Chains A and B, each alone.
Chain A
Amino acid sequence: MFKNNEDTHKSDKIETIIGPSVKVEGDFAGDGDVIVEGIVIGTLKTKNHLRVGDEAKVQAEISAASAFIAGDVNGNITIEEDLELKSTAKIHGDITCSKISIEKGATINGKISMNGQKKESINNSVIEK
């Protein structure tokens, strides 16, 4: 299912999987790792790693310890540590994180703040490595 993605994060146990067969509405909060391949509307919080697959549609405010995003996100993203955006990622919202990795082809419509300080402002642009 996830063979086309290259998330380097490793975990002993995946806690929650929001697959393409479900739609989640409301304030989702989890303590463990979360994988999203379906639809999420509302807020999405986890104290651990978040992975948004390339077919996922997220209309939510996101906060997580770390994240790998390859799908569509419409909402602000707050990541405590590393954020990795794959080429298929489409972000409409502001990003706050400590470290960021952006693959060629990813699109970001919003501001990026590193460690709480605004380093870059990007509007309707395509990021290249």
Chain B
Amino acid sequence: MYLYIYDVFLNDKKYFNLLNKIENRLADLEIKGKICRLNLLKNMSEAIDDGIKQGVNTVVAIGNDSTFGKVVNAVADRDITLGIIPIDGESKIAEILGVPAEEKACDILAQRLVKKIDLGKINKQYFIDSASIDDNNVSLNFEKYQISPVGKTMISICNLGFLSGNDSIYQKKISIPTDGWLEAVVTPLKSGFFGKKGDRAPSVFPFKKILVESKGDPVTVTIDQQTIFKTPVEITVAPKKLKVIVGGERLF
């Protein structure tokens, strides 16, 4: 049984026609289900808990990257398969999973190609792609050793690395979200007329658990380009934590 969760911003009437088209397409594909429209009084976790009690085994989030970031955290600890319908073509998470925008996403849902992927966990919050550390004045403490950046660098903790700002991480498959590991990637930076650009190969450290500490004032850690944490933070891998419906154009 499917549960379709509409994010709060979709209550705006400008989305009425688009949502109608999506609902019609879902009906054509015979994968219609219960619809829950979020509002200020009903949050995502409550909606999913209510759905599970009624026999829901697939939750489909309709919205944008903010929606998908929240739903990943809501379903990760439950035995639920996740699907997404991006409401515009700007969703990075949808690009990672190979899901096209709007009605076309319904076809991906109907094909139901399910992958189990790892998630990163920072303190108590999950992330699907990466965490970026915006300051060099940190140390990454592994179980028995620690690393410190030398010179100007960009530090990313990657499950896939698509949002890390270093395209080579996912293009060269340095970080794969199905291998049970996260990677700490330290990329040297070079300043120039056209901004900062990596000029040498990055350092790569696979790990299952690290502690990121600042050597001075707390440093910002941003996960999936959305949520911000301050150091110190503990980052772990949650292997095969998310069951998600993916498309053939996925990045992994």
Which A residues have a C-beta under 8 Å from some C-beta of B? 1-2, 14-29, 32, 37-39, 42
Interchain CB contact under 8 A, B203 and A18: yes
| Given A1-B201, A16-B206, A17-B204, A24:B150 Cβ within 8 A | no
Smallest beta-carbon distance B105→chain A, Å: 33
Interchain CB contact under 8 A, A25 and B203: no
Interchain CB contact under 8 A, B145 and A22: no
Interchain CB contact under 8 A, B148 and A23: yes
Closest A residue to B173 by CB, please name it. Answer: A13
Chain A CB within 8 A of B151 CB: yes
Chain A CB within 8 A of B147 CB: yes
For residue B153, which residues in chain A have a CB less than 8 angstroms away from its CB? 21-22
How many angstroms between the C-alpha atoms of A2 and B200 in the bound complex? 10
Chain A CB within 8 A of B163 CB: no
Partner of B186, one of A22, A26, A32: A22
How many angstroms between the C-alpha atoms of A74 and B210 in the bound complex? 28
Interchain CB contact under 8 A, B147 and A23: yes
A2-B201, A19-B204, A22-B148 provided; 9 other pairs, C-beta below 8 A?
A1-B201, A18-B205, A20-B200, A22-B147, A25-B145, A26-B145, A27-B144, A38-B150, A39-B150
How many angstroms between the C-alpha atoms of A6 and B194 in the bound complex? 34
Closest A residue to B185 by CB, please name it. Answer: A17
Partner of B201, one of A16, A19, A25, A29: A19
For residue A1, which residues in chain B have a CB less than 8 angstroms away from its CB? 200-201
Smallest beta-carbon distance B198→chain A, Å: 9
Partner of B144, one of A2, A14, A28: A28
The residues in B between 175 and 214 inclusive whose CB is less than 8 angstroms from any CB of A are 186-188, 200-206
Residue total for B at the interface (Cβ-Cβ under 8 A) = 20
| Given A1-B200, A16-B204, A16-B206, A21:B151 Cβ within 8 A | yes
| Given A16-B206, A27-B144, A22:B201 Cβ within 8 A | no
For residue B200, which residues in chain A have a CB less than 8 angstroms away from its CB? 1, 19-21
Smallest beta-carbon distance B233→chain A, Å: 19
The residues in B between 132 and 181 inclusive whose CB is less than 8 angstroms from any CB of A are 142, 144-151, 153
How many angstroms between the C-alpha atoms of A25 and B146 in the bound complex? 5
Provide a sorted-by-A list of 15 A–B residue pairs whose CB atoms are within 8 angstroms.
A1-B200, A15-B206, A16-B205, A16-B206, A17-B202, A19-B202, A21-B153, A21-B202, A25-B145, A26-B144, A26-B145, A27-B145, A28-B145, A37-B201, A38-B150
For residue B148, which residues in chain A have a CB less than 8 angstroms away from its CB? 22-23, 25
For residue B205, which residues in chain A have a CB less than 8 angstroms away from its CB? 16, 18
Closest A residue to B154 by CB, please name it. Answer: A21
For residue A19, which residues in chain B have a CB less than 8 angstroms away from its CB? 186, 188, 200-204
The residues in B between 71 and 123 inclusive whose CB is less than 8 angstroms from any CB of A are none
Interchain CB contact under 8 A, A42 and B201: no
Interchain CB contact under 8 A, A21 and B146: no
For residue A29, which residues in chain B have a CB less than 8 angstroms away from its CB? 144
For residue B186, which residues in chain A have a CB less than 8 angstroms away from its CB? 19, 21-22
For residue B146, which residues in chain A have a CB less than 8 angstroms away from its CB? 24-26
How many angstroms between the C-alpha atoms of A32 and B153 in the bound complex? 25
Closest A residue to B136 by CB, please name it. Answer: A21
Interchain CB contact under 8 A, B145 and A24: yes
Closest A residue to B145 by CB, please name it. Answer: A26
For residue A16, which residues in chain B have a CB less than 8 angstroms away from its CB? 204-206
Smallest beta-carbon distance B203→chain A, Å: 4
Interchain CB contact under 8 A, B150 and A21: yes
Smallest beta-carbon distance B237→chain A, Å: 15
